[in-house]
Amino acid sequence: MIRLEFLLEESSMESLLLTLLPKILPPAYRLDENYFLHPFSGKSHLKRSLPKKMKVFSNFHEKTAVIILHDQDSNDCKKLKNELVQLCKENGTCAFLIRIVCRELEAWYLGDMEAIHAAYPGFKIDRYINKEKFRNPDLCNASDELRKILPGFQKGKSAVKIAPYMDISRNKSLSFIHFVSGLNKILS
């Protein structure tokens, strides 16, 4: 069994993954036993820490893979991913997976409107589920859209509230789909 070290740009990613990873990972995986979540306080903190983390994880006696989850925001996706790949290759030898969340984590929530509706029963799902701008949630400014359509939306709290209802197989966010498929590839 490969040990998984998740390096996360922010704490809301940790809040979401605490609930989602048990739905994705095989049953033998246990938090803080064979997979670990490391939230950072932003992009620059994650990038500064990455060289040291890669060196440490590459020297573990057990087979280890590092999974880096980073919001795209206004960055060029390919350029950002290439920068992170270079940092990993220059500083370690363990397997790694880099997933850029297009554009931001909240797109993953919009990718599963049924989960939003379950978490917020007052949410008028019928008004939004078939709207063109939500068909590919990675292309819209997800947090702004959520603030418009979901009264009381708060980044951190909503991650905790929506995650239990998210269904891995119905999410429409391509970056979410790529995250799940990349993780499954690492595990196989």
pLDDT digits (tens, 9 = 90+) for 71-128: 888 878 899 899 999 999 999 999 999 999 898 999 999 999 999 999 999 999 999 9
Q: Is the pTM of this model over 0.85?
A: yes
Res 76: pLDDT = 82
Q: Is the dihedral of CA 171, 177, 183, 188 positive or negative?
A: positive
Please name the helix (run of DSSP H) or strand (run of DSSP E) that holds residue 99, with its range, or none.
Answer: strand 95-101
Residue 69 to residue 139: CA distance in whole angstroms: 18
Selecting from 3.30.70, 3.40.50, 2.40.30, 1.20.120, what CATH number does the domain 3-104+171-187 have? 3.40.50
| Tens of pLDDT, residues 156-175 | 899 899 999 999 999 999 99
Residue ranges per structural domain of the chain? 3-104+171-187, 106-165
